[in-house]
Structures are given as structure tokens and as C-alpha cells.
Structure 1
Amino acid sequence: MNCMIKNFLITNILSKNNLSSSIRQLYGRASIGLEDYEKNRQKFTLPNNFREKMIINTQDNNNNRIIFSEDLKLIIHVAQSEDLILVENMMKKFNKQNQYLRFGSYNFGPVVMRMYHYLNRPEEALKIYYDEQLEGFFDQLSSVIILMDLLYENKKYSDIIELYKTFRNKQLSFGKYPKSIMVLIFASCYKLNTAEIFDYAMNIWKEMNDIGLKPLRRITCYIAALALNQNSPHIAIELITTISNHHSVLIRSLKVLAYCAMGRIQDALPILTSVLTYDVPNAVKQIFPQDVIESVKNSIEKYGDRMVKLDFIRIEKQLKEQGYIKNESLDDLLSSEIIIASAINKPRSILKAAFNNDEKNGIRYKTLLRPGLSEIV
């Protein structure tokens, strides 16, 4: 292995060891309706003997007993972990009942998944999603997003990939590549960081491009970072060139790291200096994460060219003095929450369609991107 690449991999800031220390959900709580769900829980109170009554109603020998929509809605909004078996039995009986007994357009799938997310019960949520007795119960795009986000928060990245393989075989109206789900898929591939998952991610990325679906910038950044981790900086460079805006924090940082990994230090340095002359009114300050700069420094030490080293010392000094180096990691940026909130003018949302089109509960979400996040998504 080339010494430069070997050294880069040893000090790689996107290494798997660093990835395992990051624990967070990808979509903010408001984005997937958890904040509203928590507020709604405060409005519900169980009548006396409600649990006992529902246990009786769900028994096999009580086929004449009915689980009404309001019964199910109530238990979902008050459930604790010890109630999950009862909730499961109520859902199954509700789903089994004659369709003519259901009125209105309330979709339980997303709310049930919020319940599991709120209680942090990923195994139970995944089990119920696959349950054949609840076929079609969770066929809303938002149900899948909420479940995947719960799995992501609990580092169950392989489960997310397997869930997607099942999901894409279903003939659902929103197709095989909804952007909000693909972000979670590629984020999971990035976290798994294996040669096999790299091949899988590349195939999916190519499929999307072949049918004319341009992946979000965040998606391309995930797979470019994964390419770096899998000793393929040349692929990372090719992926990055498909993105039109190269002024993003992630794009510049990944490009710098890829050039360093290939031993092309003199191609990396102009990218560092470009932020010093990038002048756009009201634009977010063009920064580099501290660990990217440290990685460049390590590569230059290995490179062994005195003049290049002096150039870098000068550039680093300017970047520090003018506030272009931020004390956070590139992995922090790649793992940044996508925050959605209501009441913002002219929103830009990758979840808007998911929550506007399939819940039918009067909930509307609009995007409020954290400062700097707009150039990551």
C-alpha cells in the first residue's frame, strides 16, 4: 500500500472507531413529529379499568368485542413499556376487524412508530413492522422514516439496510428511492463502513443516477466519505465532481482529504486558501473542521517537501487568525441532525412530502435548517 495512503488511513478522521462514538438521531424530534406526539400525550388520560377491559376485548374467545379507533388512539398516547403487548394485541385486532367499521382518514402507522420512538423500543418497533397480521398498517412513508430514525439512533445500521431491502420490494406510491429515506440508508452505509456495504451503496447510488434521480448533496457526501474509508480516494473525487456547488463545508473537506490520500498535496492546498477569497454577501462563513486541518498536516509531514510545509504553515496561520477553522469534527457535520420546524416562510424540506401526503392528520412540517446545515443537506 502506498505510504501516503497508509499514513492517511492510520490518522483518518472518518475511521470506524470515530464513527462508533457518535450517538444521535439523524432527523430532529420536530422533524418526525415527536415533539407534537409528546405534547399530545399530556392530553390523554385512561379511564378506570381501561387496560383490563382492553385485555378482555383482545382475547381470542371474544370475537364479538370491538377495538374502536378511539380505544387504539388512547392507548398509543398513554402507553408505557409495560403496555406494549396490549398495544400490539389491540392493533392486530383493530386491523383484523371489518373495514366498514373504520371511518375517517386517521392513519395509525406513524403515530404508533412515534410511540415506539418515544419509548426507545427499536426491537419491538421492528418486530411489529414485519408482523404479517399488520400487513399494510405501516405503509406510510413517514412510518418508515420514523422507524429508521429510531434504529439509527440505536446504531442498528444493518437493520436499516435490511428494512430498506424489504421496503423497496413493495409497490408503494412513493417509489423505491424517496430522498428522506435514502439519507438514512447512505448514513447507515457510512456508519457500517465495510467493503461489502461500500459496493452496495455504490450500486444504489448508480441506480438512482441511471434513472435520473440526482442524489441529495448529503447522500453523495456520505458515499464519498465511505469511499475514503475504503481506500478509494479516487472514487471519492469522482463522486464529489457530480455536485454542482463545491463551496460546502463537507465538499471542500472531503476533497482535501481525498487529494491528500492520493499524495496530491499541492492540489489540496488551493482548496484551503479558496475560503480566504470566497466573498458572498450574507453567506455562511466558509470553515474547515479542526480535524481536517490536522489530517492535512499529518499528510504534509509524510510528504516531506519543505516548501510545501512552509506554504501550509502560512495558510494554517491565516485560517486560524481569520476564524476559518472550527473546533468540531467532519463526522460531526456528516452526522448533523436535519431539523424541521413549523412556521417558516418559503421552506426547503426533504420530509415535507412524507408528512404532508400520507398522514392526513392535519399536520404540516416545514424546514428550519440549523445555521450552516443548508449547505450540508
Structure 2
Amino acid sequence: MVAALWPSCGVLLQALQILVYPGVGGSGSACYRCPLGAKRYLLTGNIVKLKEFQHKKVAVACNLPGTKETYFRNLEEKLTQNKLILKGELITLLHLCESRDHVELAKNVIYRYHAENRNITMGEFKFGPLFMRLCYELDLEESAVELMKDQHLQGFFSDSTSFSILMDMLFIKGKYKSALEVLVEMKNQDVKFTIDTYVLAFAICYKLNSPESFKICTTLREEALLKGEILPRRASCFAVALALNQNEVAKAIITCTNLNIILHMQLNMLENVIEILKNAIEGNLSKYVKRQVFSEKQSQEVNNKLEESTFSF
């Protein structure tokens, strides 16, 4: 019965595109009404915070006593003389960098600072996101990946935001293999995954579209479910689309236990929605077979959709 109600793979992929990128092919806002394949950002502005970082850079430069060149020269002398690097000095430096050469100096200062403070973690300032935003602004993703994977800086990028910004940067530039390496590094360093992590991870695997990336996506999803984590809808969409591209239709259907309802609603297949819910409620299942469970949010969405429609039953 479920198989009969399931749309074709082509229709499913179209619906998934609508779910992941609202407004595509529909009546969404102008900013979303763009052709398929156009550049899209997986992270929101409140995570990347690039504008805030740029505004802060202007403020730091304006309030700097003396010139940038003098500040850079003083830090170079500190490195040469093996003097202690202060937290405030590194923060200021990261806000003053405007070129690749400046970032090279910042990298040397980061190595020194981390060596001096690697055992101090409680309440410490998180430099990782700051450095990633700098690399984001200057298109220096190679430098970001280099430091992220350097074992000498283990613990410096201990937050999920740093990894998310870097993966987003690489994703936008189409460097999906490098993005996957960053994801693996994040897992190896035991950094906690967030909602943004799963969206980025599954999107990267979807873009790679290989048996290996499908295996990684499936493993991450299963581990998340075992931990009791609720995966975001966008992440599930990427996982389903990847499964379909890999001709793993059965696994796509399993992944879509709840997403199935959303897909049919997006396609205005309300008769099928009701039939699926009816089978889930009235189905004559063994007590040893777990029934399908639909979230409260989805139930409310179904009710709203039915109220808006002219469908009668």
C-alpha cells in the first residue's frame, strides 16, 4: 500500500528541491525564486556573522593607537623575542588582517598563543569562529583547512561554529571533498554536531553523490537517531535525495517515515496523505511491529493544509 502511494523518483526529487529551497518553482519570495543550480547558502547570517565581523574590523582599526604596520611589526618582534602573546593582542590582530600576508602573521601568532595556552579552556575566548570569518572574508579557505587539520592546534577549533563556517565556505566554492574532510576531522575531534552540522554534512554527501558519501550520510543519520536527536527537515531531504540518486529507494522510503507526509502535502496529494495516516492508525499490525509515529508539528501542518484546501472526504 505504501509503495503504491509513493511518487516516482523524479517527482520526489522535484519535491525535495522545493522543500530544501522554498520558493523554487513556486510562489516564494523573489530572493528564493532562482533557477535550480544557483548558488545558495546553507548557513544563516546569524551563524556566519560576516557583516558583524566586518563592522567590528572597522571599529578596531579606527580605535587603534598608531598604525597597523606598527602593530604588525610589534607582534613580529614579540614572536622573534619569544615574548608572551596576550589574548587581546590576538583578537585585535584578527580584526586588522586585510591580506594573505597578514593572515600568515596571524597563523604564526595563533601557533604561539595556542602553545602557551593549550591547557586553559574554562571560559576562554573562542578564536576559531573569528579566524574562520576572516578566511571567509578573504577567500582563504586553504589556510582555514590547513589550520583546522593541524594536530598542533588540537583544541583551538573546539566549537561547532568554526567547522560549520568552514564547511559552508567550501560548499559554496564547490570543494565538496575538502568539505567532507573537514566533517571527518570534526567527528575525529569529537566536536558536538548541531542542526547546522547535519544540514551541511548531508548536503555535502548529496553533492558528492557516491557510494562512499551515501555510506557516511547513512551512518551519521543512524548515529543521530540512536542518540535520540531530531534531524532537521532540510538534512532529511538531502539524505533522501542522495538515497534516490544512489538507487537506494528502499532506504529513501525508510528515511522518509515522517518526510513522506510532507512530500505529499507539497505535491497537494491530500488523498494520499489521508490514506497514509489512516493506514498508520487503523493498520492491522502485530504487537511486535512498531507503528509509524508522526510528530505533533507534522500533524498540525496536515490539519492546516486540509483546512486550506477544498478537498472533501
- With the length of structure 1 as denominator, give the TM-score of the two structures: 0.57
Alignment correspondent of 1:66: 84
- Give the % identical residues: 26
Runs of 4+ in 1 over 6 A off after TM superposition: 99-104
Distance 2:117 2:51 in 1: 33
The question of 1:57 aligning with 2:75 is answered no
Alignment CA distance shift 1:138-1:69 (3 Å): same
2:264 touches 2:270 (CA, 8 Å); kept in 1? Answer: no
Alignment CA distance shift 1:123-1:36 (3 Å): same
Shift of 1:280: 2.5
The question of 1:142 aligning with 2:161 is answered yes
AA of the residue aligned to 1:135: Q
Shift of 1:105: 3.2
Shift of 1:97: 2.4
1:240 touches 1:251 (CA, 8 Å); kept in 2? Answer: no
Distance 2:213 2:181 in 1: 12
1:95 touches 1:134 (CA, 8 Å); kept in 2? Answer: yes
Alignment CA distance shift 1:89-1:202 (3 Å): same
Alignment correspondent of 2:99: 81
Shift of 1:27: 0.8
**RMSD (CA atoms):** 3.9
User: Which 5+ residue runs of structure 2 have no aligned equivalent?
Assistant: 1-7, 18-34, 276-301
State how 1:273-312 maps to structure 2 within 5 Å. 280=304
Distance 1:138 1:237 in 2: 37
1:25 touches 1:150 (CA, 8 Å); kept in 2? Answer: no
The question of 1:158 aligning with 2:182 is answered no
Alignment correspondent of 1:206: 222
The question of 1:122 aligning with 2:122 is answered no
User: Which 5+ residue runs of structure 1 have no aligned equivalent?
Assistant: 1-6, 257-266, 287-317, 319-377
Higher relative contact order (CA 8 A, sep 6+): 1
Shift of 1:58: 2.1
Shift of 1:203: 2.5
State how 1:1-377 maps to structure 2 within 5 Å. 21-45=37-61, 46=64, 47-48=66-67, 49-59=70-80, 62-63=81-82, 65-82=83-100, 83-97=102-116, 105-172=124-191, 174=192, 177-243=193-259, 246=261, 248=262, 252=265, 270=271, 280=304
AA of the residue aligned to 1:280: N
Alignment CA distance shift 1:211-1:272 (3 Å): closer
Aligned residues: 255
Distance 1:119 1:77 in 2: 12
Shift of 1:268: 6.7
Alignment CA distance shift 1:271-1:158 (3 Å): farther
Distance 2:229 2:119 in 1: 40
2:149 touches 2:185 (CA, 8 Å); kept in 1? Answer: no
- With the length of structure 2 as denominator, give the TM-score of the two structures: 0.68
Name the SS for the 2:47 alignment partner. coil
Q: Deviations along 1:216-254, whole A, 9 cap, x unmatched?
A: 2222111111122222334323321244x82x4x5655x
AA of the residue aligned to 1:238: I
